[in-house]
Amino acid sequence: MNKISGLIAGDEIYQTELIKIKENKDYRGSFSEIFQEYWGTCIKPVQWSVVKSEKNVFRGMHLHKRHDEYFCLLTGHCLVGLKDIRPGSPTEGYMSLYELFEEDMAAITFPKGLLHGWYFIEPSIHLQSVSEAYADYGKDDNWGVVWNAPDLGIPWPVSEVILSERAQDFPTLAGLKASLGAWQPFEKSLSEPR
């Protein structure tokens, strides 16, 4: 199997970026830069977390109005799904499905206002960063949609997943939009990401 991380379904979403991580190897092991400010991504990190997930775990689909995110798979194999529901975004309504492999390290950065979730095909560890500390946000910025809602349009290649209790009660996309009401998360950037 060719283990190359990348977009496997859907389209690229505005202000979202897949960054290939270069692994510099020698006889001792390897060294990889996982984040650089000069990359010019949408995120200004304030918190980094290491997350371990078991096989078949699905985390999401989440939505945050105030913070941008970074996701980098360190070990294992996973799928990352995104859906742009930002009113006024040039890619409003688009979805993306990425496949990430430990053997071809990559990071995904994406802005606030995108629905996002990750499914772990095998036990995995990932790094996650946010532009607002978890201690500073609560229920008012912690929204969700059921992972397999037909109105998401994300072609997850699985039918059964392990979810948190909270995620089991998430609404459909239409239900979430009704709860959100009028909101304007989309901001045009003066400088485009690289």
pLDDT in tens, 147-157: 999 999 999 99
In a domain, 85, yes or no: yes
Q: How many CA atoms lie within 13 A of 181 on its CB side?
A: 1
In a domain, 33, yes or no: no
In the structure, what pLDDT confidence band is assigned to residue 193 with cuts at 50, 70 and 90?
A: very low
In the structure, what pLDDT confidence band is assigned to residue 42 with cuts at 50, 70 and 90?
A: confident
In a domain, 1, yes or no: no
Residue 33: the pLDDT is 87
In a domain, 31, yes or no: no
In a domain, 48, yes or no: yes
Read off the CATH number of the domain in which 112 is found.
Answer: 2.60.120.10
DSSP state of 21: P
In a domain, 34, yes or no: no
Residue 95: the pLDDT is 97
In a domain, 189, yes or no: no
- At 24, the amino acid letter reads N
Per-residue pLDDT tens for 83-109? Answer: 999 999 999 999 999 999 999 999 999
Cβ contact 7:18 at 8 Å: yes
Domain range spanning residue 146? 6-22+40-180
In a domain, 80, yes or no: yes
What are the tokens at 138?
């609560």
What average pLDDT does the chain have? 90
Q: What is the mean pLDDT of residues 135-156?
A: 87
The structural domain count of the chain equals: 1
Number of other CB atoms surrounding residue 38 within 10 Å? 6
From the centroid of its chain, how far is CA 104?
A: 17
In the structure, what pLDDT confidence band is assigned to residue 143 with cuts at 50, 70 and 90?
A: very high
